[in-house]
Every structure is written in structure tokens, then in C-alpha cells.
Structure 1
Amino acid sequence: MENPVDRLAEIIAPPAPAATAVDWEETVRRLRTARPADYVQLIERYGGGQFDDYLWLLEPASRSPYDLAETAEEREEALEYLWNRGEAKPALLDAPGVRAIAWGSTDNGEYLYWLARPGDDPHEWTTLVNEARGAEWEHFEMGCAEFLVATLTGEVRSDLLWSLYPASPHEFFPSALIDQED
């Protein structure tokens, strides 16, 4: 099977220069867990940023509003709040120790998560999509890089993501450019 990050690079060229270095130990500490290898490859090749003027790949230690650990923590707190207030918790997340860890977001307010189950290797985590301002969820049996490729190529379609995603031609806007504007 072709590496999904290599396949992504065939669809959308990575930015030049290459992404900045990441303190992965600090990222693991802040997330309170390891991180999937495909995500590390995405960040090392692309850095955080926006695909097709819509879907944001969150990045560790970003000064932009798309910081991985900060967003993951905010989303976990928000989900707990909603579930404690009576919103239906998805069955996939309704087991002890299971976490939804945000790795992406959209301009419309949807979030993309890793489904992190206790004892699972992070490299086996799959993708969840949560609708903007609602309780509907979708589960995709693929990691974040494979999900990006599959949605960009149209191999997979999410009913929750914007109907005009993906765009043509494909584009990637690095969040580092946002960071430089500060």
C-alpha cells in the first residue's frame, strides 16, 4: 500500500520551504498520549495548514488558532460539557478511557478527531467527523493522512463536510504564513 503522505504529495505539492521542526516530546506531553506516525509525516512534510480553502490540519505549537494540543483540549472539554448536558454521546466514544482527539477542523465548524481507544496503537487510530454545532458523527476506518487523501480524491465522501469540498484545483495554505503575520 502506498504511503498516504506520499500520495497526498502527488495531489498537492508540499510547501517550500519544508515545515518547521516540532518538539514531539512536548506534543506527547500536552496531548497525554503518543501520536500517529502518519500525522508526524504530514506535519514534517506540510506543517499545519488549510486544504482547499476549507479543512485545517492542526499543528503542534502553532501560534495560529490551529494549535493541535490547545484545540484538542478545548474540544475534549466542550464535548464533555455537551454530553453532561444531555447531548447523545456516540456509541464509539461511550466506553471507559476512549478519547476523541481533535486533529483537524473546518471553516464551517466541523471537527475531525482520532478515535483513541485504550490499548490501541496510535498508528491504528481511525477518523471521526463531528458536524458543526450538532450531535451527528461519522466514523471512517482510516487514519488522518489516508482520510485527507480519500476526501481530496473523492474516494470517500463525508455527509457532514461541506458539499463544495474538495475544490479543484487543490490548494494548501500553510498556517506558518498566518503565524508570520503576527
Structure 2
Amino acid sequence: MSNALARLLEIAPAPSQPLDKGWSEVEQTLAVGLPNDYKELIGVYGGSNWDDYLYVLEPDCPNKHYDLLKWAKYQFEDLQELWTFEKKPEELETEGSVVIPWATTDNGECLYWLVLPGVDPNEWTVMVNEARGPRWEHYSVSCTQFLASALTGELQSNILSSSFPLATHEFRRLGPV
């Protein structure tokens, strides 16, 4: 278990039912491996809502609106189209670099993994994109470290809502709609 996941367990006790995903099928669909800390996060919390604001995407999420595989497909297509007339963030100027979404917010901001050629998934870092705008932020941490640090206030984004995190944390696993 990662240190960041241990910190999340202190913030919000784990639901009683751990999840077991077919990761090889998910990774085959995405054509890339996923970070171990994310797999652990999903195994413990599943697709989830944090502080009534941030939604962690889950492959085949019971709430179809937060399915990682669908988000990855549509975000890739949308960003490719967007970057025909808007400048890519400099972190994505490397040939073969892409972003894969792992979380979103109720305001429409999107949190991505920065995937660079030859970089192991366990070394991927986090990119945050504002809703309907060109601003991006880059954080040299894993997704679970980002979530834990954002919830404790150690990490502060200029893009995410100023009312996140809440003083008293709220967590809920995403269920069917």
C-alpha cells in the first residue's frame, strides 16, 4: 500500500467492499498499463466522490458518467481536435506524449496523467485542466498523492475550486444512476 493511500484511509475510512477489477482487460483497452497506486485506490474506494466536488473515474464504473474508459476515449478525441487551434501545454510537446483522464470535478475541470514515451506508469504525474479554458497545471506527484495532498491542503491548485477541500471531508462511492 502506498503512503498516499494510507493517508487517504486516515481521511476517509474504506468502504467495506473492496473491488477487484480485471486490470489486464482495462489496460488492453487503453493500450497502456496503469499506475499501481491508481489500481490500489480503485480497489479500496472504487469510483468515488470526494468532498462533494472531485470524482475519481473507475473503469466500468457503476455510474456510467464516471467510466474511465469512456472518458479516456472522448477526452483523447476532444483534445486532439482542440489542439488543432489551441496551443498544447508545453509538457505535451514531446513526440508521443498524451494525457489520460483519471478524475473530474463537478465544475468540469479534468485531472489527467501525463504519459510520456518510455516513462513507467508508476512515474506518471498529474496535469489539471480548467473547465472550458486553456489553463493547465502540472504536479510532479502520482494521482493518489495528488488526491491526498489536495484533501489535506498541502497541495493547492489555482484551477480547482477554492471551496475544495471541505473542512470536514466527505466521501462516497459512486453507484448506478
TM-score (norm 2): 0.96
Query: 1:24-82 deviations in whole A, cap 9, x for unaligned?
Result: 01110121100001001100111111100000000011142101111011111111111
Superposed counterparts of 1:30-179, under 5 Å = 30-64=29-63, 65-84=65-84, 86-175=85-174, 177=175, 179=176
| Secondary structure, counterpart of 1:25 in structure 2 | helix
State the SS of the aligned residue for 1:15: coil
Equivalenced residue count is 175
C-alpha distance in structure 2 between counterparts of 1:43 and 1:104, whole Å: 12
Q: Percent same amino acid among aligned pairs?
A: 45
- Look up the SS of the partner of 1:138 in the other structure: strand
Quote the RMSD (CA, aligned, Å).
Answer: 1.0
Residue 166 (structure 1) shift: 0.3
Residue 52 of structure 2: SS of its match in structure 1? coil
| Structure 2 stretches lacking a partner, 5+ long | none
Could you tell me which runs of 5 or more consecutive residues in structure 1 were left unpaired when the two chains were aligned: none
1:17 shift after superposition = 2.3
- Structure-1 residue corresponding to 2:10: 10
User: After the TM superposition, which of the residue ranges 166-175 and 123-132 deviates more from structure 2?
Assistant: 166-175
SS at match of 1:135: coil
